[in-house]
């Protein structure tokens, strides 16, 4: 982080660890205030759902969001059932955000909760996966910009030379137009092979996609908004 010029960062709890947060707790400890994290609990698993409120209370100020995934057909959240609403209520009561990682076809299942819990921030991860759905399905995600509690996250920016070999630049322009620079954040660039130089290149590549914005707007997306949203400003 120091070599890349990063003061603070969010640890997105890895899905393979499920609701075992020991690695996240380790990161929070060694981060000494420079790291915060997201958590993962499952609405359709009673023990997991019951454990979330105390987990969030015990780590108040260190957890910025609870994450939910919807892309694997055999591991979907319980759409339309009381358990998912109870999960969302627990997140709202804790005062943290919801972070959504989903394919566009599952967007309708989340929409009622975005509307109902309008005071709870909803972070849409990975640009809402624009290339994992039809244009009609993704259009619904774009309409979520009408909900003031949604924030779009630029992460996992696909390169045209990789599958599905599509140009992401028009999508990013759509997103900046819909959400505005003031409701966008970014993530990524860190992995097991990351170096200060590789991370700086990642940021520079992202700036290339934001060249239509002012320097002030670029700075907001590349850190200013997150610092304010996550309590570092």
Is 1 domain-assigned? no
Model pLDDT, residue 221: 98
Give the model's confidence band at 191: pLDDT under 50 very low, under 70 low, under 90 confident, else very high: confident
pTM: 0.96
Q: How many helices (H) and strands (E) does the chain have?
A: 9, 7
Is 212 domain-assigned? yes
Domain residues for 186?
A: 64-229
Is 57 domain-assigned? no
Q: Does residue 195 register a pLDDT over 90?
A: yes
Structure tokens at 125: 């991860």
Q: Over the stretch 103-137, which tens digit does the pLDDT of each residue have?
A: 999 999 999 999 999 999 999 999 999 999 999 99
Is 196 domain-assigned? yes
Pairing of strands 122-124, 97-102: parallel
The CATH number of the domain holding residue 173 is: 3.20.20.140
Is 188 domain-assigned? yes
Q: Which helix (H) or strand (E) holds 53?
A: helix 46-58
Residue written as tokens 């892309």? 71
Q: What are phi and psi of 154, to 5 degrees?
A: -85, 110
Is 27 domain-assigned? no
Give the model's confidence band at 160: pLDDT under 50 very low, under 70 low, under 90 confident, else very high: confident
User: What letters, b where the CB count within 10 A reaches 16 and e where it falls short, cover 64-98?
Assistant: bbbbbbbeeeeebbbeeeebbbebbbbbbebebbb
Q: Does residue 165 register a pLDDT over 80?
A: no
Question: In this structure, are residues 69 and 42 in contact, taking their beta carbons and an 8 Å threshold?
Answer: no
Is 31 domain-assigned? no
Model pLDDT, residue 57: 98
Is 158 domain-assigned? yes
Total number of domains in the chain: 1
Q: Does residue 233 register a pLDDT over 90?
A: no
Q: Over the stretch 48-75, which tens digit does the pLDDT of each residue have?
A: 999 999 999 999 999 999 999 999 999 9
């Amino acid at each position: 982080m120091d070599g890349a010029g990063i003061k603070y960062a969010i640890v997105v709890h890895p899905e393979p660890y499920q609701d075992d947060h020991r690695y996240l707790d380790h990161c929070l400890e060694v981060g000494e205030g420079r790291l915060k994290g997201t958590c993962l609990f499952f609405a359709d698993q009673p023990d997991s759902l019951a454990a979330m409120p105390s987990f969030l209370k015990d780590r108040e100020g260190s957890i910025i969001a609870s994450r939910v995934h919807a892309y694997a057909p055999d591991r979907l959240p319980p759409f339309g059932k009381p358990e998912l609403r109870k999960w969302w209520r627990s997140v709202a009561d804790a005062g943290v955000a919801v972070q959504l990682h989903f394919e566009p076809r599952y967007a309708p299942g989340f929409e009622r909760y975005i509307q109902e819990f309008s005071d709870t921030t909803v972070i849409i991860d990975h640009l809402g996966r624009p290339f994992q759905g039809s244009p009609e399905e993704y259009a619904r995600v774009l309409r979520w910009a009408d909900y003031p509690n949604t924030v779009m996250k630029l992460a996992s920016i696909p390169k045209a030379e990789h599958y599905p070999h599509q140009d992401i630049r028009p999508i990013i322009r759509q997103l900046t137009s819909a959400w505005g620079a003031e409701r966008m954040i970014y993530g990524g660039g860190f992995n097991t092979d990351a170096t200060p130089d590789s991370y700086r290149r990642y940021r520079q590549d992202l700036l290339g996609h934001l060249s239509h914005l002012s320097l002030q707007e670029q700075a907001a997306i590349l850190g200013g908004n997150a610092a304010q949203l996550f309590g570092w400003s």
